[in-house]
Chain A
């Protein structure tokens, strides 16, 4: 065995691949290679002990060699199977069975009993009489106050400015170190309907608190992947003053409905289609992607879009029942990572 080891060591690895099969018979049961060129094999090397795996070879070079050879074998076999399947499909032509759908995490999502059924009367009544009822009944129109945490840096300030161009009827105010619990009664008396606070950490915005005002729920989000206008490639010109349309994608569960309604109540009810601007909140796997585009229909089926405004990703951390009161408020939903994130296929929004 040492002799064979020496010989394998002296040659290059590539050479070994072809020659080693001839050398193998001299190695006592060290090879798992049942490959063809075994004509020269001596009887004592023909029987490989069962249960032997490549990892038991002590020599690292030899082990690596056997592994690469095994891997190549596997690849070859896989390719052969694929080719065979393809040939069979072509041979069958139209009668071929449909291609199997690949499994994705979204496909394999665990059944969620809180998914809202559109015909459900109880949930419909709950939504018709919740805190957003006055917005959805067209009795109030939104007026938003956008502010930041104290002493914001440039990125956050620019994000606030850009957000205020995206959301109609919004006003940006400098925070001045004021407590939110003192700001909120003032906002209510000045008829604001929503308060947005962008939290900043180490010069980048990383959180968003959205509070619906008279007594509505407060949502706290983690914000990531913030791209300001100048960082967006191939973007269009600045958005105009037209009221955009909204797209809310994939807010299926009851919690998702509440959050979706919160976003919807930020924008006035009458989108101006002349402006051809659209704000999208797309929920996928509990992450909410915000994008702002301008679209144009080139033909009946083809649309061209230009991304305009800022883009960011949100993840819900908690939904609290009243206005902002993180210490004494009652929470409708709190994200608890160690309890809720145990399954990769379970989502809450």
Chain B
């Protein structure tokens, strides 16, 4: 049943024990999915991203350098791909046009052909960007552009279809008031939509905005928050501000127009490992080392919406960007009911017929229209809105 309702999960979280957890905030349920049936620390999830085709597939990057494919429709892992080359865990995963882009800590970006059935093959493209990468992020507007940044690794924007040289290479800020070099530690990068700008948050509690379109290679705007390394960042809907989290569990919203602090969110007790905002709703999902997934409301009023205790340390998360969050179709609550169907409730009531033709749990991957119609008939009997 967990597998059956998998596609309606709102948040997908990867843990240090190798379990992928799907959380349904409407029903307040969390389900565990593992590739091997048992949690394994070697498969600790280090990167998550959506696969091709909307939000039906998730690419899970594990600590043992394999990328596993998880299907949300079926609720199970469908295949994996081993991506050797370079050292360290995955720092970025992205997907474009049927190819998979991976980046590891030692700075090797590889582009793989996306046929998941193949055990391993040579990468289509291999690019060495420099050691100490902490994050690689893909530009959602131009999927072949990626940005990398890390510890003593300045921000660089690469065009994977272009040359071996970066399109934009950031310059470090001027020496500080003691004439000492300011160290670099870019922990997270985001592309600002609507322009070429990028925002980074650093381990030295700075938030910087870079503009490749301007002749200035130094940051255009710099803001600081707190005294602890900022570990995660996300853009808010409206894209005028970012929300950053640090190793003490403090979340702050920083305005990018003026570089000032708009407000803080409280609740987290441990280091923030993953942050993501919903593209249209004012909701923010955060996960961290205190083993709890929290969903906050960012605006009117600012506060905690949901809190889910997930028993392992959480590494990264994916928030579903779909709009019909609250209008989720009534799920059949009994275990014997089969995977979910469409949201045409009118047809439901119209086609009221006595029903349960299917007694066994049906986890068939292919869901034809016929099957869905049959299940629709079952539902009116079971649920009463």
Contacts and interface: CB of A to CB of B under 8 A. Distances in A.
- Of the four ranges (under 10, 10 to 19, 20 to 34, 35 or more), the interface on chain A belongs to 20 to 34
Given A125-B17, A126-B17, A339-B267, A331 B248 contact: yes
B106 interface: no
Contact of B291 (A114, A120, A339): A114
A328 B271 contact: no
A120 B311 contact: yes
A123 B271 CA distance: 20
Interface residues of B, number: 26
A327 B291 contact: no
Contacts of A327: 227-228
Given A125-B17, A339-B267, A330 B313 contact: no
B309 A114 contact: yes
B302 to A, nearest CB: 14
Contacts of B38: 125
Contacts of A339: 266-267
A340 B269 CA distance: 9
B173 to A, nearest CB: 20
Given A129-B17, A129-B41, A333 B309 contact: no
Interface in B280-326: 289-291, 309, 311-313
Given A254-B291, A254-B311, A328 B229 contact: yes
A334 B203 contact: no
B19 interface: yes
A334 B248 contact: yes
Most B CB atoms within 10 A — which of A113, A254, A328, A334? A334
Contact of B249 (A125, A126, A254, A334): A334
Contacts of A329: 247
B236 to A, nearest CB: 22
Interface in A124-140: 125-126, 129
Contact of B271 (A113, A125, A331, A336): A331
B32 interface: yes
Given A120-B311, A122-B312, A339-B266, A332 B290 contact: yes
Q: Most chain-B Cβ atoms within 10 A of its Cβ — which of A120, A254, A329, A332? A: A332
B85 interface: no
List of 7 A-B pairs having minimum Cβ-Cβ separation, nearest first: A330-B271, A332-B289, A113-B309, A330-B247, A122-B311, A129-B41, A332-B270
Interface of A: 113-114, 120, 122-123, 125-126, 129, 254, 321, 327-334, 336, 339-340
13 contacts: A120-B311, A125-B17, A126-B17, A126-B313, A254-B291, A254-B311, A327-B227, A330-B271, A331-B247, A331-B271, A334-B248, A334-B269, A336-B266
